[in-house]
Chains A and B, each alone.
Chain A
Amino acid sequence: MVDAAIRAEGVKSGARKRTSLRRMMQRKSTIAFFMALPLITLISLLVLYPAGYSLHLATLNKSMERFVGFGNFTFLFTRETFWMVVQQSCIFAITAVIFKALIGFVVAHFVHNIPAKGQRKWRGMLLVPWVIPPAMSCLAWLWLFDPSYSAFNWLIALFGGDPVPWTGNTYWARFSVILVNIWIGAPFFMIMYLAALKSVPEQLYEAAAIDGASWWQRIWYVTLPMMRNIIAITALFSLIVTFANFDIVRIMTAGGPIDTTHVFATWSFRVGIEGADIPLGASVSLFMVPILTVAAVFILRDITRRGNES
């Protein structure tokens, strides 16, 4: 009798287990998890593992035989070039993002006002700089800025001007790399802002027009508030990508002249791979993380706050 009771209990608990497993498998979150699993695995392999490994490398000495803790970071703080790279990375990223945002905003308005029939053609053409692989477009820009055979200098010479050392002088070299970054990145802002503009309800503009709002007031009191979140997210995304930029600086100036155009990624490559000091190179690249984290926290907090308010 006892045995039978136990058996019955066992059968019941087995059935319950099967049912709960089935229920769990049928839950939307479980299905979503399994569907996302390949991506999670891919991200773990291609992002988390390299990130963890670079953290590990950054704690080793130059010959990678000894644990030195934060030794590489404290060493970097004593280097003049490192602080120049910090400064240059900030100048590069902030200036480029501001100009990309401004140009993107203006061009998005122009495109938005083009009649729907011809708009697709313009949208496609304006996206070209963004869709060309940067390595290719940078090479084309390099030829335009070439130290000795610059096409721009040829044009300047036609008008009797002196040649400009585009990549040979610190300020011109900084200008050149920032300009190329803006050229490549502005279409991304344009397309994001255009999408945001299209989602602004037309009634708001009509109401503003009835109230006698000027063009500028419509932009300031209707368009901008409606686009604030997309502006913030686009700026954050672009800031991260621009800060971590490698190809433009590497191809255009390789960090020169006298290191004045290096950003974190290019200097990290120079120190780590070309200088055979992989731990120090890893430390340089990791230095971007706290800076970008602070920027991300501030921007995302602002977005969340506005989301809650609305």
Chain B
Amino acid sequence: MQKPRLSRRQFVATTAAASAVMIAAPFVRGARAAGKLAIGFWDHWVPGANDTLTKLVNDWAAKEKVEVSIDYITSQGNKNRLTIAAEALAKSGHDIFAFPTWEPQAYSKYLEPVSDVMEPLIKQHGQVNATVEYLGRADGKWIAVPATVGSQIKGPCSRIDLMKKLAGVDVQALYPAGGPPKADAWTLDAFLKAAEACHKAGASFGIGLGITSDSVDTAGAIFHSFGAALVDKGGKIQAKSDPVRQALDYLKKLAAVLPPDAPAWDDASNNKWLISGKGALIMNPPSAWAVAKRDAPQVAEQCWTHGMPAGPKGRYAPFLPYFWGVWNFGKNKPAAKSLLAALSTREAAEKMVAASGGYDLPSFAKLTDFKTWAEEGPPKGTLYHYPNPHNHQILSVAAAPAPPKIAAQIYTQGVQTKMVVRHLQGEAMEKTLAWAESECEGFMRT
């Protein structure tokens, strides 16, 4: 029996036909055709905010045929930071993670560059502020996308009635709802005078001097307002400089009229201070006001979120962005980048801001005009100036412009607030500066 033989011509013809069929055949995509994606998001304080984010992700997943799994990881007890550290060490875990302010820089070598996501977003939504660039870029590349969820400005939230009655400051006139600020007279000197007057009347400003972020952010913004940096952009220690002396001198005067236990305050203390009706001002995003709305409505209706006072070198507001980053050991980077782009659209950002009651902030210049901030109340317009819509403040992070890995240490160790407490407790200025210099030297190790 003779075996059928395939001639060269037949082989070529068959291969060509098969290829044509393969190319012409319709691409049938399954429900999970584009693979799986594991996400570690920050667990939001605001009830219901996670649900909106989940819905946005699920809508994207259904469209892109990706199977997603989301873990909401709390920042209580630093659980999210522990998870980040563990995943970086194990080089395994989620594909996307929500990184708190300094973490993208700390783990930059494990992060997939996302310039291809960020560049179109900047074209579409306008520039991001310098703080986002400082924290989100390394070696000329974007290493993470600024997240709407969790990003916040920690400006003053004042009691309208107490500020007017005790300090003679009309915060609504300085920052009218729906219009640009008229706050030229709102300077650090005016702020100190108001703090002294309120303290004298038994309604001290609720500003902490601990080492948690609310305390550090306020001290950091005041340092910036004096042009004071402990370490400059080039990594040179500047602790013993005149701007640092001026900032410390000012903060000592301010600390003297803060609650006596301010050195022990954490991030909950200022919220409690405002909600209990004890204080005339705190430095916080609108979460304290939101809780007051539920627990102490008579306090909430007297709250007004507004801008920082200006110092000799400008008007600086503390800004703490969250970032969404993609691990470079992640298994589905294209899908991860696609999701980050989808979560950064104007529509998605607006939904997240609404779900958080105005707490969350997009970092792009053209995304500060959502109706949530204009309409939230009572009193109506209380959040209008929260997203810095008229760009009258410089959004900053404490310890900048030091190289981020050094700045993160200064920030985490609360060096600036510790300086204030040491000086307040009677340590000589030069001794405090020498201590700060020594601490910064310790942060230089690589």
Whole-angstrom distance between the Cβ of B90 and the nearest chain A Cβ: 12
Decide: A257 and B263 in contact? CB cutoff 8 A.
yes
Q: Is A276 an interface residue (CB 8 A)?
A: yes
Known: A147-B269, A259-B418. A273 touches B263 (CB 8 A): no
Q: Is B122 an interface residue (CB 8 A)?
A: no
Selected from B107, B260, B273, the residue in CB contact (under 8 A) with A168 is: B260
Q: What separation, in Å, do the CA atoms of A149 and B268 have in the docked complex?
A: 12
Q: What separation, in Å, do the CA atoms of A189 and B110 have in the docked complex?
A: 48
SS class of chain B's interface: helix, strand, loop or mixed?
Answer: helix
Q: How many residues of B contact A (CB 8 A)?
A: 39
Selected from B259, B261, B408, the residue in CB contact (under 8 A) with A275 is: B408
Query: What 0/1 pattern do residues 150 to 169 of A give for CB contact below 8 A with B?
Result: 00000000000001011111
Identify the 5 closest CB pairs spanning chains A and B, nearest first: A147-B261, A168-B264, A168-B261, A276-B106, A257-B263
Instruction: List 16 contacting pairs A-B, 8 Å CB cutoff, sorted by A.
Output: A61-B445, A63-B446, A80-B435, A80-B438, A147-B259, A148-B259, A148-B273, A167-B261, A258-B421, A270-B412, A273-B78, A273-B81, A274-B81, A276-B85, A276-B102, A278-B89
Q: What separation, in Å, do the CA atoms of A75 and B446 have in the docked complex?
A: 12
Selected from A61, A75, A168, A275, the residue in CB contact (under 8 A) with B263 is: A168
Query: What 0/1 pattern do residues 77 to 108 of A give for CB contact below 8 A with B?
Result: 01111000000000000000000000000000
Q: What separation, in Å, do the CA atoms of A263 and B350 have in the docked complex?
A: 45
The total number of A-B Cβ pairs within 8 Å is 86
Interface residues of B in 183-212 (CB under 8 A from A): 210-212
Q: Is B391 an interface residue (CB 8 A)?
A: no
Decide: B278 and A148 in contact? CB cutoff 8 A.
yes
Chain B neighbourhood of A277, CB < 8 A? 409
Decide: A276 and B408 in contact? CB cutoff 8 A.
yes
Decide: B262 and A168 in contact? CB cutoff 8 A.
yes
Selected from B109, B210, B409, B442, the residue in CB contact (under 8 A) with A256 is: B210
Q: How many residues of A contact B (CB 8 A)?
A: 32
Q: Is B103 an interface residue (CB 8 A)?
A: yes
Q: Is A253 an interface residue (CB 8 A)?
A: yes
Chain A neighbourhood of B81, CB < 8 A? 273-274
Chain B neighbourhood of A79, CB < 8 A? 442
Given contacts A63-B446, A253-B264, A276-B412, 8 further A-B contacts (CB under 8 A): A75-B442, A147-B259, A147-B269, A165-B263, A166-B264, A256-B210, A273-B85, A276-B103
Q: Is B266 an interface residue (CB 8 A)?
A: yes
Q: What separation, in Å, do the CA atoms of A253 and B85 have in the docked complex?
A: 24
Chain B neighbourhood of A80, CB < 8 A? 435, 438
Whole-angstrom distance between the Cβ of A50 and the nearest chain B Cβ: 12
Whole-angstrom distance between the Cβ of B91 and the nearest chain A Cβ: 12
Q: What separation, in Å, do the CA atoms of A276 and B106 have in the docked complex?
A: 7
Query: What 0/1 pattern do residues 91 to 122 of B give for CB contact below 8 A with A?
Result: 00000000000110011010000000000000
Whole-angstrom distance between the Cβ of A262 and the nearest chain B Cβ: 11
Decide: A274 and B418 in contact? CB cutoff 8 A.
no
Q: Is A265 an interface residue (CB 8 A)?
A: no
Q: Is B422 an interface residue (CB 8 A)?
A: yes
Chain A neighbourhood of B422, CB < 8 A? 258
Selected from B85, B210, B261, B269, the residue in CB contact (under 8 A) with A278 is: B85
Q: Is B338 an interface residue (CB 8 A)?
A: no
Chain A neighbourhood of B408, CB < 8 A? 275-276
Decide: B421 and A148 in contact? CB cutoff 8 A.
no
Q: What separation, in Å, do the CA atoms of A81 and B441 have in the docked complex?
A: 13
The chain A residue sitting closest to B109, CB to CB, is: A63
